């Protein structure tokens, strides 16, 4: 009986070492560096990646899962890391193989470190991941271009859906899928940060151009009587991001005004 009690006590003690609890100190693991052995690669190649994990808190950091991922492809490899005392850091090596289907473009290799569970919340959860760029040179590429955007009807009544024709061309040499945003801007320069008022999707073969009709809705805003219409196209990896957005010109906006709620002929 004493043996089992001693074993249980020892197990609980070790668990306390592996799983830090709140005691006025901070639990905070951070990825401080993601280093590649080269910054350019090609499909099918392998490269060495080193992820540096550091305990930047004042308490013991419990066991961690350290992983690397490649933009578009998600997490690729993961390992388990032993607990770290405050101030300690470990360089975790990985071998990353570039997928044979990777398209030409700039990707991000991301290194992350997460708790295996049971800890108090980390002091700075935003420092668990870090990205570094990687250029992949491939004969296959995608380049979606926004060609035109135009409202089929004008003026436009706010809060009432209206159709917008958006023409997109795939200038690349492989088929690709893309998302389209219809935007409303206060000036003629359309950017992805403008107000999105409609969304659509499209898949184009290499060299194909097509026009899609997207339902858009301008928000209720009595102070706005006009706005610049436009559209942006987004694909996962492209070779040229400068031709993703296009302006569609100034459109007039009509506010519907106060709405009357009528029930059985009675105004409320």
Gap between the Cα atoms of 150 and 156, Å rounded: 12
DSSP state for residue 57 in the 8-state scheme: S
Structural domain spans, the chain: 25-136, 144-254
Report if pTM > 0.75: no
Gap between the Cα atoms of 209 and 144, Å rounded: 10
| Contact (Cβ atoms closer than 8 angstroms) between residue 44 and residue 137 | no
Q: Residue 160 burial by CB count (10 A; 0-12/13-18/19+): exposed, middle or buried?
A: exposed
25-136 shares its CATH topology with 144-254:
yes
The structure tokens listed for 146 are: 């926004």
Q: What is the pLDDT of residues 131-160, one digit of tens each?
A: 999 999 999 999 999 999 999 888 999 999
Q: What is the pLDDT of residues 32-61, one digit of tens each?
A: 999 999 999 999 999 999 999 999 999 999
The architecture in CATH of the region 144-254 reads Sandwich (2.60)
| pLDDT reading at 9 higher than 50 | no
DSSP conformation letters of 85-131: -TT-EEEEEEEEEPPTTPPSEEEEEEEEEEE-S-SPPPS-GGGSEEE
* CATH topology (fold) of 25-136: Immunoglobulin-like (2.60.40)
| pLDDT reading at 125 higher than 50 | yes
């Amino acid at each position: 009986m004493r043996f089992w009690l001693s074993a249980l006590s020892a197990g609980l003690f070790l668990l306390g070492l592996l799983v830090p609890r709140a005691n006025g100190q901070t639990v905070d693991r951070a990825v401080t560096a993601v280093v590649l052995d080269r910054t350019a690669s090609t499909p099918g190649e392998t490269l060495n990646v080193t992820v540096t994990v550091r305990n930047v808190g004042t308490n013991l950091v419990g066991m961690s899962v350290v992983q690397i991922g490649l933009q578009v492809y998600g997490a690729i490899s993961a390992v388990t890391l032993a607990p770290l005392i405050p101030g300690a850091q470990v360089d975790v090596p990985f071998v990353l193989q570039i997928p044979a289907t990777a398209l030409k473009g700039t990707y991000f290799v991301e290194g992350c470190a997460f708790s295996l569970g049971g800890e108090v919340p980390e002091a700075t959860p935003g420092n668990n991941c870090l990205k570094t760029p990687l250029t992949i040179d491939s004969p296959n590429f995608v380049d979606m271009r926004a060609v035109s955007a135009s409202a089929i009807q004008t003026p436009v009544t706010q809060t009432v859906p209206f159709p917008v024709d958006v023409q997109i061309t795939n200038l690349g040499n492989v088929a690709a899928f893309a998302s389209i945003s219809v935007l409303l801007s206060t000036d003629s320069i359309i950017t992805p940060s403008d107000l999105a008022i409609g969304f659509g999707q499209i898949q184009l073969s290499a060299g194909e151009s097509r026009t899609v009709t997207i339902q858009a809705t301008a928000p209720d805003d009595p102070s706005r009587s006009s706005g610049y219409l436009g559209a942006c196209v987004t694909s996962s990896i492209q070779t040229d991001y400068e031709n993703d957005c296009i302006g569609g010109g100034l459109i007039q906006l009509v506010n519907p005004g106060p709405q009357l709620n009528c029930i059985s002929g009675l105004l409320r």
